[in-house]
A and B are shown apart, each in its own frame.
Chain A
Amino acid sequence: MAVDLTSEKTEAITGLLHGQPRSAGEWTWSGRELVAISWLAPLAFALGWETLCRFGGVNPQVMPAPSAVLATAWTLAADGTLFVHLGYSLVRAATGFVVGGGIGFGLGVLVGFSRLAEALLDRSIQMVRAIPFLALLPLVIVWFGVDEAGKIFLVSLGVLFPIYINTVLGIRQVDPKLMEVAKVTGLSLRGRITKIILPGAMPSILTGVRYALAVAWLALVIAETIATTKGVGFLAMDAREFLQTNVIVLTIVIYAAIGVLADSVARALERRLLAWHPNYAGEARR
């Protein structure tokens, strides 16, 4: 009887969690509905903001309405300048991500596999990691001038560490019991790396990728404040000079939008690479 009671209780709790009376049966939110719900709060926020600007007497110089920001976006898009700046920023972010991510992953694999490499490299890497970006800015300008190289360097540096740390962690956390299986099945070293260690480390590495994407963007905002004439950061700096709050807000919205986009790319990667993982409800391939 105790079992029956428990299962009834579980069902009742499930019902409560889903905001449905038990009589409605086993009803859960579908994926599409949940996506729609996740957009409710941002939409309500934009609506409230617009209302305040129109009827609340907010000075547009202080806080432009979403419609004004949209209009600005339209004008800048129409003459193409928006895409030029966006293009520069994206290329910088992507290049920095590939360079920094590649180095971080390479170092992570090395240190993850070899205690010797760890002894040689890890302390230095951790020391460099402890340096705040902004402290490096003057040096970066001296080293690389105000060219692309300096900006890409900053982004790479920001991306390197989260990928490095999570790669090392992922490799170290691979179940030693599976390594024993590799031993008794006579798996080659190459097989051990490609079939056990890297897939086992993948969840952790992808966590690093997601974090690195956020850092890349942050680094880019800083990098684009260095004397430059192109990029979303420049757009914001330039607008500040002339107090164009609508452009400033637009750049913030762009950063946010691209951040969300980058995150969804990372999630798509997770769904694809971690299809086997019960936490990433990927569809079982047959």
Chain B
Amino acid sequence: MSAAVTVRGLRRRYGERVVIEGLDLRIETGEFVAMLGESGCGKTTLLRALAGLDPVDGGRIDGPSQPAVVFQEHRLLPWAPLWQNVALGIETPQAREQAVAALREVGLAGREGDWPRNLSGGQAQRVALARALVREPRLLLLDEPFAALDALTRIRMHDLIEDLVARHRPGVLLVTHDVDEAIAIADRILVMRGGRIAASYDVDAETAAGPSALRAKLLGELGVVLHDRAA
């Protein structure tokens, strides 16, 4: 398999505080990796470094120069109709067709001329997904993109993203604090602690006997102790 991104010895600090120290990570093409961690553990910092939005203080990142990113907020341009939002940065004559096709793929066929303000939160996030996927990225970075959505919309988005990733096969890094979300859609779950990756779980292998054991393990990694109710 070829790697979508390889990170070696990554280091990042804010002033005196070291946020990421000696982090190694490899994501294969078509692999869906979820990153869990407590708030402030540096998982968003890692994602922003991979996206090229923040500088790094040391180490190497070997990956595409232009990964696609979906943020927690949709970040659509309110003054541009949907297709222009999706086609942002694409300067080929087919930009509009590509955008329309991408919108169709996320279930928003025929809405290309609409304004972002006429969308619900879930729809706006789908446009953001279309904007990311229309450039056929080798690496897709998701920074808690479903955190602000209601529970039902989130489940639908999980299905959609699994579907889209299976079709376009980018390497995916999903940063989340939601253990169930990670189990539901990822192939591999990493736990970040102390500026490096503290644990790695293969989801298929761990959930052979159902997801609850992995869930308890992951919550344990995050410092949540579940009491056995039967006792």
Nearest Cβ on chain A to B129's Cβ, whole angstroms: 13
Nearest Cβ on chain B to A197's Cβ, whole angstroms: 11
Contact A285–B113 (Cβ < 8 Å)? yes
Nearest Cβ on chain A to B148's Cβ, whole angstroms: 14
Contact A195–B131 (Cβ < 8 Å)? no
Q: Which residues of A contact B13 (CB under 8 A)?
A: none
* Residue in contact with A199 in the complex, picked from B68, B69, B79, CB distance below 8 Å: B79
B75 contacts the other chain (CB 8 A): yes
A196 contacts the other chain (CB 8 A): yes
Contact B79–A183 (Cβ < 8 Å)? no
Nearest Cβ on chain A to B44's Cβ, whole angstroms: 13
Nearest Cβ on chain A to B210's Cβ, whole angstroms: 38
Contact B118–A185 (Cβ < 8 Å)? no
Q: Which residues of A contact B84 (CB under 8 A)?
A: 195
A196–B79 Cα distance when bound, in Å, is: 9
Contact with B along A187-216 (1 / 0, CB 8 A): 110010001100110100000000000000
Contact A199–B66 (Cβ < 8 Å)? no
Contact A284–B91 (Cβ < 8 Å)? no
Q: Which residue of A lies closest to B73 (CB)?
A: A177
Of residues 71 to 124 in B, which have CB atoms within 8 Å of A's CB atoms? 71, 73, 75, 77-81, 84, 88-89, 91, 113-118
Contact A188–B91 (Cβ < 8 Å)? yes
Contact B89–A178 (Cβ < 8 Å)? no
Contact A184–B77 (Cβ < 8 Å)? no
B52 contacts the other chain (CB 8 A): yes
State whether A184 and B69 are in contact (beta carbons under 8 Å apart), knowing that A277-B78, A284-B114 are contacts in the complex.
Answer: yes
State whether A187 and B88 are in contact (beta carbons under 8 Å apart), knowing that A177-B71, A177-B73, A178-B75 are contacts in the complex.
Answer: yes
Contact with B along A248-286 (1 / 0, CB 8 A): 000000000000000000000000001111100000111
A25 contacts the other chain (CB 8 A): no
* Residue in contact with A183 in the complex, picked from B53, B81, B135, CB distance below 8 Å: B53
Name which of B51, B53, B66, B79 has the most chain A CB atoms within 10 A of its CB: B79
Contact A199–B91 (Cβ < 8 Å)? no
* Residue in contact with A195 in the complex, picked from B67, B71, B77, B115, CB distance below 8 Å: B77
Contact B67–A200 (Cβ < 8 Å)? no
Nearest Cβ on chain B to A286's Cβ, whole angstroms: 5
Contact B117–A276 (Cβ < 8 Å)? yes
Interface of chain A: mostly helix, strand, loop or mixed: helix
Q: Which residues of A contact B117 (CB under 8 A)?
A: 276, 278
Q: Which residues of A contact B75 (CB under 8 A)?
A: 177-178, 180-181
A186 contacts the other chain (CB 8 A): yes
Contact A286–B89 (Cβ < 8 Å)? no
A182 contacts the other chain (CB 8 A): yes
Q: Which residue of A lies closest to B131 (CB)?
A: A185
Q: Which residue of A lies closest to B84 (CB)?
A: A195
Q: Which residues of B contact A183 (CB under 8 A)?
A: 52-53
State whether A191 and B89 are in contact (beta carbons under 8 Å apart), knowing that A184-B51, A277-B79 are contacts in the complex.
Answer: yes
A202–B204 Cα distance when bound, in Å, is: 52
Contact A185–B88 (Cβ < 8 Å)? yes
* Residue in contact with A184 in the complex, picked from B68, B78, B91, B114, CB distance below 8 Å: B68
Q: Which residues of A contact B114 (CB under 8 A)?
A: 284, 286
* Residue in contact with B77 in the complex, picked from A196, A275, A285, A286, CB distance below 8 Å: A196
A286–B110 Cα distance when bound, in Å, is: 10
Nearest Cβ on chain A to B49's Cβ, whole angstroms: 13
State whether A178 and B77 are in contact (beta carbons under 8 Å apart), knowing that A184-B67, A284-B118 are contacts in the complex.
Answer: yes
Nearest Cβ on chain A to B136's Cβ, whole angstroms: 13
Chain A contact residues, CB within 8 Å of chain B: 177-178, 180-188, 191, 195-196, 199-200, 202, 274-278, 284-286
Q: A191-B88, A286-B114 are in contact. List 8 more A-B contacts (CB 8 A).
A: A183-B52, A183-B53, A186-B135, A187-B88, A275-B115, A276-B80, A277-B79, A284-B115
Give the 10 A-B residue pairs with the shortest CB-CB distance, closest first: A185-B89, A199-B79, A276-B79, A187-B89, A184-B69, A185-B88, A186-B89, A286-B113, A181-B75, A186-B66
**Listed A/B pairs (21) with beta-carbon separation below 8 Å:** A177-B71, A177-B75, A180-B71, A183-B52, A184-B51, A184-B52, A184-B67, A184-B68, A184-B69, A185-B89, A185-B131, A187-B89, A188-B91, A195-B77, A195-B88, A276-B79, A276-B115, A276-B117, A277-B78, A278-B117, A284-B114
